[in-house]
Amino acid sequence: GVVTRADWRPNPKCVDQMLTGIVAPELDQFDQYQDFGAAIAVRDPRGCGSLYTDEHFAVVSDCRLDSKADLCVKLNLSRAEESASKILAKAYEKWGEDLVEYIAGDFAFAIWNKVSRTLFCGRDRFGKIPFAYFLTSKSIAFASDFLPLASRCSLPKDINNTWLLSYVRGLVHDYESTPFEGILRLP
């Protein structure tokens, strides 16, 4: 996804380029939400990704939630088959940013609050599913992997030699860096 300052519209072609950067040629369909400050989409080869929108939120997630049935009961949702993104939206509505204390599993998500025009992102404690991002003065681009970001238009594609050398030596201690300069991940 891409979220921008209030006075700047995201380029939808950049999101398309990010989706193309996901190596899943069998998937030519994707779900997308766009308003003036946000363009969010999901295209997931494992079937764990989902997009949910309502009048307040647009939520994109790449996740496997543990105890979905228990969460649905706590959130007064009728069916345990609800998408992970809908469950996250309702959890955010009920618990705010503390929702991460109530959920367990493997996850990375972004919640765009359409009313306050704010973005809240999170990922699981063990880093099973990464959350990568690129931040500029005008926008943030994010994905559950750094490769779609590396394929996005206008992002530098310089190799992070320090990270690469640490990786080859088996000594990666910087859990915010990625193989690309400027593309970071939530630790």
Q: Which two tokens stand for residue 54?
A: 């309502």
Enumerate helices (H) and strands (E) in the chain, giving the number of each.
5, 10
CB 148 within 8 A of CB 27: no
Give the pLDDT band of residue 1 (cuts 50, 70, 90).
low
More confident residue, 134 or 49: 134
Q: How far apart, in whole angstroms, are the C-alpha atoms of residue 163 and residue 56? A: 39
Residue 111, pLDDT above cutoff 80:
yes
CB 155 within 8 A of CB 183: yes
> How confident is the model over 37-51, as a mean pLDDT?
69
Mean pLDDT of the chain: 79
Q: Which two tokens stand for residue 49?
A: 């990704």
pLDDT tens-place string over residues 125-173: 887 888 888 887 777 888 887 777 776 656 666 888 888 888 888 887 7
